[in-house]
Structure 1
Amino acid sequence: MSSYKKLSIRKFAVPIKKDTEESRFWKKFKTHSTLSEAASVTSINYSPISPHDFAVTSSTRVQIYSAQNFKVKKSISRFNDVAYCGTIRNDGKLLVAGDATGLIQVFDINSRAILRTLRGHNLPVHITKFAPGNTQVLSCSDDKTVRIWDIPGQEAISVFKEHQDYVRAGVINDENPHLVLTGSYDQTIKLWDMRSNSCTISMVHDAPVEDVLMFSSGRMIISAGGPTITVWDIIAGGRVVRSVSNHQKTITSMFFNESQSRLLTGSLDHHVKIYDVQDYDVVHSIKYPSPILCLALSPDEKNLITGMTCGSLSIRHRKTTIQENKSREDKQPRVGSYQYFTRGRTYKGTLDDFIIESKRKKHLASYDNYLKKFQYSNALDAVLKETTTAILTVSMLQELIQRDVLRIAIAGRDDASLRPLVKFLIRWINDPRYTSILCDVGEVLIDVYAPVIDKSPLIKNMIESLRDKVKGEVNLQKEVAKVIGSLEMVFAKGMMK
């Protein structure tokens, strides 16, 4: 008979982690409501201006929701295909969004009118963001390019083409708007400098990059690709500081809180995780019913909103105390930051305050400043650029004639500075609107430089071209006069019959 030894099973107590102050803070975000969109929610963006309304991009429309009652205030649906990344400008007046056709549109939020249409990408544009100066737009596209657009001119002033796959992440540094950070499905993160229009640092994430963030200081950046977030030190040449993987599936979006002390990540594994940026430990985790595509935390840290693949928009609201609201109002931005120089612009005053409307000083154009300083030669140079319209250049010439300083503005030039003026005369002297003024300018030009024209072959050839053009125009006018005379005789004879 075999004997069996009796095994004793000892029970070990599993230590239960106590609730921390951090955990209690995030648990205060209770589900307020769940809204339904027409399709997957691809982006959520808060307005920096109180009361912090937010834009939600889904299907072929961008909707502006009220942060107070979470109802739709505006709906912009002027897209021919799926819309992406509806972003509100810092002043809360404009919104920019891209679409699946490669088109970028800038809207006035109040009227929903299209103010600018930016064309250049030929594949879907997934990232559109305003630069800190509010006059430029960053765009990242599936055509592998990154562009910086000038809103008034509706043209791309910088184009970066070194990525080898879809570019699905991009951000401009708030403190230094010349630095642009992008992430691509080619598994690289690149830091671009708009001043040199080149890539300064390139880093490899080892997974298709879905999102990137940059700290305000510009030294540290964070990339998300696959289930991993990686922290990089730019000053150290792109050295990896920390790499953590707490998600089971791809991380689709990241978001900083207002002080950039906490990092929020959303993933296809249905979870939102909150990290402490000191050690990148998870301090709290929230589970959702569907994969998460985007998330946003309101600037006042009262609302946490997530967009999911099923089209649901989950809104979690946190009630705040009077003391907490007061401490937030008393908080001052860091000295020297962009927020510091724009502080107080949203303050409306109280009912007892007497508000004086300030008139914004009009800044003069460069040519007007030169005229004001009696620098006539510099004023003429300022309007002889190729980007300047002809009517503006002719108006400047007419102003110089009326001031009797045209000879002063033209005299004392070398070949390089004289060439733009002669080139302008050759191009526009045949235009009936400008012929009389430009003929006077041409006479003064020849009178001033007649003794030295032969010493410059370039200017001599251009003057000869101008002469030939004027001569051809005179001959043309003579032929036209002959034809008109013949027609008048024919008409007169017909009337006599």
Structure 2
Amino acid sequence: MADLQTFPTKPRLKPTSKQPNRSPESKYWKSFKTHQISGLVSSITSINFSPLSPHHFAATYGASLSFFNPHHPFTPTEPLSTIHSFKDTSFSASFRSDGKLLAAGCQSGTIHVFEAKTRNNLRQLKGHTRPVRLVQYPRNDLLHLFSASDDSIVKYWDVATETSLNNLMGHKDYVRSGSPSPVDDNLFVTGSYDHTVRVWDIRGFASGSNSSAMVINHGKPVEDVQYLPSGGLIATAGGNVVKIWDVIGGGRCLYTLETHNKTVTSICVGKMGKDSGDESDQYRLLSVSLDGYFKVFDYSKLKVTFSMRFPAPLLSVGFSPDCSTRVIGTSNGIIYMGKRKEKIDEKPSIDQGFLGFQYRDEPKRVLKPSSFRYFHRGQSEKPKGGEYLILKPKKVKLAEHDKLLKKFRHKDAFVAVLQRKNPENVVAVMEELIARKKLFKCVSNLDVGELEMLLGFLQKYTTLPRYAGLLMPFASKVIQMQAEELRSNDKLKSQIRNLKRSIQEELRIQQSLLEIQGIISPLMRIAGRR
């Protein structure tokens, strides 16, 4: 008799789950503690961080644009201020490279330019005839911006004079996304619902050309496009696919990522901090989708390194330049702000801001083995080097069937666990009784009511792949042992018929699956040869 003293009993048939991802990068992304910002009513259409410390971020939703300070010590989830000067839905908030101006588009086709500090509306750029879904400042250019609209036109603006310098034609459907080059102010890229991504070069405008320098076909309506930090690669998102393209090499597709189940709505580039487990800072591509998943993609190794599920469709994502804040906007007006703990050498004092001085914290007293308090430390005290922590064994609360097994009341334990109707516990007790060679003796001693309860359990769980290896032969043995009782009782006959019907249905399903496998296997071999 093996393992008689192992309590509580645990099922051996339970499949082992995958080991959790404990890589340094996974720990890095899990270190972002999520704060929920709710009550914003409408979908979060865009998120953009200020390039200046403390890196406030702006979020557009409904007819509003709100500013948040994720580093606020008391109310990081409360907006610092909100702009309500939009007549209808706002889109695509974008900070200028010096952080002093902010531009955003709206449903009416107007581009609003605000002073970031005072929130005053400085300019209104009018020229688009349909909603403006894209507004972006170039990398370092303080005088111009580019925009795109549902009218399929891309415009290049002189902000000071409120004039459109060029109308860039080429797209044949809604233009919803774009990105400036991180290495050259003359280049930017736009993505459209006509399935194409176009690279524009401002230097060609001087010669009167308003055509794009390169056209890339994503294959599906493009929801978002981003230049990667090197300036030679771009990432495009459309449908449930994210693709990486080499624009220097003529627009060649380098990789296709298909890990989302629904439309990928937004992508951005995030720079990992120095304490992320890597010796040097590295960039990652962040994506969100209508399937509710946020994913992190290491495009240098071409693999997804982190994935997280949210309870709503996701529309926008942003990552702060100081690597401390990750912000995700949803379709139901909720912002999930993930913030990492800041490592501060010296605790700030509340009195410092009001009284002009602060109290210094006394150094923490170190306990030594020579002191009486050393031997009366609490449970929260962590062991130091060279010390060994002796844990008091926790008292295990046993279920009724475990208590009966300890008393060797095998049949009573079997009946007790059947009454609880927990399949994992029932299987665990059956395995224990098999080890004790008492299972069939228990079955032979069951009365009609207990036998009916056992047959009901077998009917429900025998065909499940998880338990079939044990329960199928056991059910056959039970029917042989209790044949006379089954023939003489109508209720038991009904249970047997139901069990037979369940097994026949499972056999029919397995036969269909084998036929499907026979059809697919030759096709897979042919595809593999190609």
TM-score range for the pair, normalised by the shorter chain length = 0.5 to 0.7
Q: Say if 2:145 is the partner of 1:137.
A: yes
Whole-Å separation in 2 of the counterparts to 1:231 and 1:139: 23
Q: 2:47 aligns with which of 40, 44, 66?
A: 44
Specify the alignment match of 1:466 in structure 2.
Answer: none
Q: Figure out how many residues of one structure are paired with residues of the other and give that number.
A: 316
Q: CA deviation at 1:196?
A: 0.8
Aligned partners of 1:215 and 1:260 also within 8 Å? no
Whole-Å separation in 2 of the counterparts to 1:10 and 1:108: 64
Specify the alignment match of 1:493 in structure 2.
Answer: none
Specify the alignment match of 1:451 in structure 2.
Answer: none
**Pairing of 1:38-117 with structure 2 (within 5 A):** 38-69=41-72, 70=76, 71-117=78-124
Aligned partners of 2:70 and 2:339 also within 8 Å? no
Q: Say if 2:218 is the partner of 1:205.
A: yes
Q: 1:159 aligns with which of 154, 167, 171?
A: 167
Q: Say if 2:235 is the partner of 1:222.
A: yes
Partner-residue secondary structure (3-state), 2:294:
strand
Partner-residue secondary structure (3-state), 2:42:
coil
The residue type paired with residue 216 of structure 1 is P
Specify the alignment match of 1:173 in structure 2.
Answer: 181
Q: 2:133 aligns with which of 110, 123, 126?
A: 126
List per-residue Cα deviations over 1:159-215 (Å, max 9, x = no partner). 211000000011111211111101000000111111113311111111100000112
Aligned partners of 2:90 and 2:105 also within 8 Å? yes
Partner-residue secondary structure (3-state), 1:127:
strand
The residue type paired with residue 33 of structure 1 is Q
Aligned partners of 1:33 and 1:315 also within 8 Å? yes
Whole-Å separation in 1 of the counterparts to 2:14 and 2:60: 53
The residue type paired with residue 249 of structure 1 is K
Q: Say if 2:269 is the partner of 1:256.
A: yes
Structure 2 unaligned runs (5+)?
1-11, 206-210, 272-280, 346-530
**Pairing of 1:352-431 with structure 2 (within 5 A):** none
Structure 1 unaligned runs (5+)?
1-8, 324-497
Runs of 4+, deviation exceeding 6 Å: 9-12
List per-residue Cα deviations over 1:4-53 (Å, max 9, x = no partner). xxxxx999866535511111111111222333212111011110100111
The residue type paired with residue 168 of structure 2 is F
Whole-Å separation in 1 of the counterparts to 2:18 and 2:313: 31
Whole-Å separation in 2 of the counterparts to 1:42 and 1:242: 27
Q: CA deviation at 1:100?
A: 0.4
Aligned partners of 1:158 and 1:194 also within 8 Å? no
Whole-Å separation in 1 of the counterparts to 2:315 and 2:302: 22
Whole-Å separation in 2 of the counterparts to 1:44 and 1:83: 12
Q: 1:189 aligns with which of 197, 203, 213?
A: 197
Whole-Å separation in 2 of the counterparts to 1:109 and 1:230: 34
TM-score, normalised relative to structure 2: 0.57
Whole-Å separation in 2 of the counterparts to 1:297 and 1:172: 17
Q: CA deviation at 1:158?
A: 2.0
**Pairing of 1:468-483 with structure 2 (within 5 A):** none
Partner-residue secondary structure (3-state), 1:22:
helix
Whole-Å separation in 1 of the counterparts to 2:54 and 2:339: 15
Partner-residue secondary structure (3-state), 1:195:
helix
When the two chains are superposed, the root-mean-square deviation of aligned CA atoms in Å is 2.0
Q: CA deviation at 1:270?
A: 0.3
Q: 1:320 to 1:68 in 2, by over 3 A?
A: closer
- Specify which structure has the bigger relative contact order, considering alpha-carbon pairs within 8 angstroms and separated by 6 or more residues: 2
Q: Say if 2:281 is the partner of 1:273.
A: no
Q: CA deviation at 1:233?
A: 0.7
Whole-Å separation in 2 of the counterparts to 1:47 and 1:257: 14
Q: 2:304 aligns with which of 282, 297, 302?
A: 282
Whole-Å separation in 2 of the counterparts to 1:173 and 1:10: 55
Whole-Å separation in 1 of the counterparts to 2:69 and 2:20: 38
Q: Say if 2:23 is the partner of 1:16.
A: no
Q: 1:158 to 1:256 in 2, by over 3 A?
A: same
Q: 1:64 to 1:15 in 2, by over 3 A?
A: closer
Q: 1:18 to 1:214 in 2, by over 3 A?
A: closer
TM-score, normalised relative to structure 1: 0.61
Whole-Å separation in 1 of the counterparts to 2:34 and 2:234: 31
